[in-house]
Amino acid sequence: MPGFLILGRILKPYGVRGEVKVASWAEGTALLCQLAECWVGPPDGAWQAVAIERSRLQGRAVILKLAGVGSPEAARSLVGREVAIPREAAPDPPEGSYYHADLLGLAVTDGERALGAVVEILETAAHDVLVVRGEAGEWLLPATRAHIRRIDLASRRLEIQPMDGLIEATGGGGAGAEEL
């Protein structure tokens, strides 16, 4: 949803008091526990502001008690909905960190050579992996300092320092790429 920062998605009801379990995007976990209000809605539908009565962490998930949701049945009706805040209300992430929403759509370059754009972010135990789609196909870019030279959100660019064979080995090398 334009103008909003998606922090997570409601997975299921939690307990008998109308709480919900939210799969929180990595950057949003602690942030969700600090909010007094959030926006809840389907990815393609009407959103509404909802007060947060209480919250707590549960691993990488967050348990929320939303105002007006008092039963497991009411909580079940929210499953699959996303939880967001207005983008301007989001605090700046820590130095060297970025919200996933800010990275999606960035142009990926090697110097002046255009390689594609970030279309998806996969979370793995070790680090995030950026899915890049370009003329040569789709390939994976580990989101590590060893591979990313510079991120410039103002110019919507992500400049990489590709290791030999990175693009080809992950599928973006076109016709001459080695098969794994």
Residues 77, 112, single domain; the answer is no
Residues 129, 78, single domain; the answer is no
pTM of the model: 0.66
The confidence score (pLDDT) of residue 26 equals 58
Has residue 127 been placed in a domain?
yes
Looking at 27-31, 97-101, 108-112, which range is the least confident one?
27-31
| pLDDT for residue 25 is more than 80 | no
Q: What share of the chain is helix, strand, coil (3-state, %, to 5)?
A: 15, 45, 40
Residues 64, 132, single domain; the answer is no
The confidence score (pLDDT) of residue 116 equals 95
Domain boundary among 67, 88, 109: 88
| pLDDT for residue 164 is more than 70 | no
Range of the domain at 158: 100-174
What number is the average pLDDT over the span 22-40? 83
Looking at per-residue confidence, does 136 or 27 come out higher? 136
Q: Which residue has the tokens 């499953």?
A: 79
* H or E, element range at 73: helix 72-76
| pLDDT for residue 173 is more than 60 | no
Q: Which residue has the tokens 């793995």?
A: 124
Domain count, the chain: 2
Nearest to 4 by CA among 56, 34, 42: 42
Residues 82, 104, single domain; the answer is no
Residues 24, 71, single domain; the answer is yes
User: Distance between CA atoms of 163 and 56, rounded to whole angstroms?
Assistant: 41
Has residue 31 been placed in a domain?
yes
